[in-house]
Amino acid sequence: MYYIKKVACVTGADHGLGMCLARWLLENHYTVFAGQYLQDSPSLAAMKTRYRDRLYLIPLDIGDRESVKQAARTIAGSTGHVDIVINNAGIIHKADDATMLVDMDDEAMARIYNVNTLGALRVSNELMGLLLQGKQKLIINISSEAGSIGRNKRINMYGYCMSKAALNMQSSLMHNHLKVMGGQVMVFHPGWIQTYMHGEKAVEAPITPEESAGKIMSLVLDHKKYMGEEPAYLDLDGNHWPW
């Protein structure tokens, strides 16, 4: 099958890395379904005025099953295929700073897992039908160095690290499923980015989200080079990370 229209979906596109990934895709002629988490998102609304015909703003809370199902229905109403799904949305939680689990906050941990791990699974699952109709059949999971057990040096952030390690396992399961159908999963550590994970812009971080998005997408463009038995787990320089 041959498609002229390249189509991508990005979750958590209101700001940060997700917004920059969406912008990169639009600048590179993709039609983009951008997951909008905030009720009002001035930056997404501004982007929409520039890319009126190719940007679709889709209300999407990946932590909520019905929201994901509704988003998938809306997307399916506008396209017959999707080439790339980018699971970008992710959260941290202040309770996760604790080094010992004496005051373990079960609720915070469950919330992190529900978004970072199950959220990505819900989205990939609901969009699988459209993805299998696409040419590239690519799932891009934005993980973190925090998901690597092999290179872990931390003694805290149990919830976040475990959620990303589980996202990595999810990527492996889904890659096994997709690769026999001509698809592929790629997993990224996007660097320490000047974004809003702590509620305000991390100005001390070394890279901008624009730079991170650009590097991720050039590696994605080269996806065939990284195709293998297992998904590629890469940093921004294309170095492989241990699971």
Ligand X SMILES: NC(=O)c1ccc[n+]([C@@H]2O[C@H](COP(=O)([O-])OP(=O)(O)OC[C@H]3O[C@@H](n4cnc5c(N)ncnc54)[C@H](OP(=O)(O)O)[C@@H]3O)[C@@H](O)[C@H]2O)c1
Beta carbon of residue 47, minimum distance to ligand X (angstroms, whole number): 13
- Residue nearer to ligand X on the CB measure, 83 or 145: 145
Beta carbon of residue 96, minimum distance to ligand X (angstroms, whole number): 12
Beta carbon of residue 58, minimum distance to ligand X (angstroms, whole number): 10
Binding site for ligand X (CB under 6 A): 11-12, 14-18, 35, 37-38, 60-63, 88-91, 115, 119, 142, 144, 190, 192-193, 195-197, 205, 209
Cβ neighbours for 113, distance < 8 A, ≥ 6 positions apart: 159, 162, 163, 166
- Residue nearer to ligand X on the CB measure, 82 or 91: 91
Beta carbon of residue 116, minimum distance to ligand X (angstroms, whole number): 6
- Residue nearer to ligand X on the CB measure, 37 or 158: 37
CA distances from 148 to 77, 105, 109, 197, 241 (A): 38, 23, 18, 19, 7
Q: Are 3 and 82 in contact (CB under 8 A)?
A: no
Residue 141 pairs in a beta bridge with 87, 187
- Residue nearer to ligand X on the CB measure, 136 or 144: 144
The residue behind tokens 């297992």 is 230
Beta carbon of residue 131, minimum distance to ligand X (angstroms, whole number): 19
- Residue nearer to ligand X on the CB measure, 164 or 175: 164
- Residue nearer to ligand X on the CB measure, 132 or 197: 197
At 13, the amino acid letter reads A
Beta carbon of residue 28, minimum distance to ligand X (angstroms, whole number): 19
